[in-house]
Amino acid sequence: MNEIAQDPNALRLSKFGLTCFLATVIILPIGMILLLYFSLPKAADRPLPVSLHLAEVNGRPAIVLKNDSDAPITNIGITLNDWFGYYSGKPLPGGEEMTVDLGSFERKNGIPFDPNSHQLTEIGVYAQLEDRSRGIWERRSEHLMDELKAESTANEAPQS
């Protein structure tokens, strides 16, 4: 006798049964993901209480970031045009300012941001708030560098 032969009384899965099983294995997880996606509330990031302006530091353009809240913010990340980044793990106390030279912003491959060759169109500031949630401050404009320079000179002008 052949020892490898199957028992004729053993359960077998027909082609239809296999098709139904595979369809269930594929459709059920996708259906659960869609159900959760449409039924759960959307998570929203909180606004970050900061203000930002340009300044000249040692003849080079720099960004001055001020924490407008009373609480410190930590894990500060600043991005320029979504390509150039800067990260500071130091906490920024409430009411204090942090100055970052534009040459300190680098791509992942180490190329620094050069305001003479790159047009600044977007700035994003991301930080951890006191309650450990994430706060975001973003600004976009085709002429962002000119707008920030104009705001900085307007703030420095004596008010009468």
pTM for the model stands at 0.70
In terms of Cβ atoms closer than 10 Å to its own Cβ (0-12, 13-18, 19+), residue 121 is middle
Residue in this structure with the two tokens 């002008």, named with its chain if needed: 157
- Confidence grade of residue 13 (pLDDT, cut at 50, 70, 90): confident
User: Is the pLDDT assigned to residue 80 strictly greater than 60?
Assistant: yes
Show the domains of the chain with their CATH numbers.
46-156 (2.60.40)
Instruction: Identify whether the C-beta of residue 81 lies closer than 8 Å to the C-beta of residue 121.
Output: yes
Instruction: Identify whether the C-beta of residue 30 lies closer than 8 Å to the C-beta of residue 36.
Output: no
Share of the chain above pLDDT 70, in %: 92
Would you state the pLDDT for residue 96? Answer: 94
103, containing H or E segment: none
Q: Which amino acid is at 64?
A: V
- Residue 54 forms beta bridges with which residues? 63
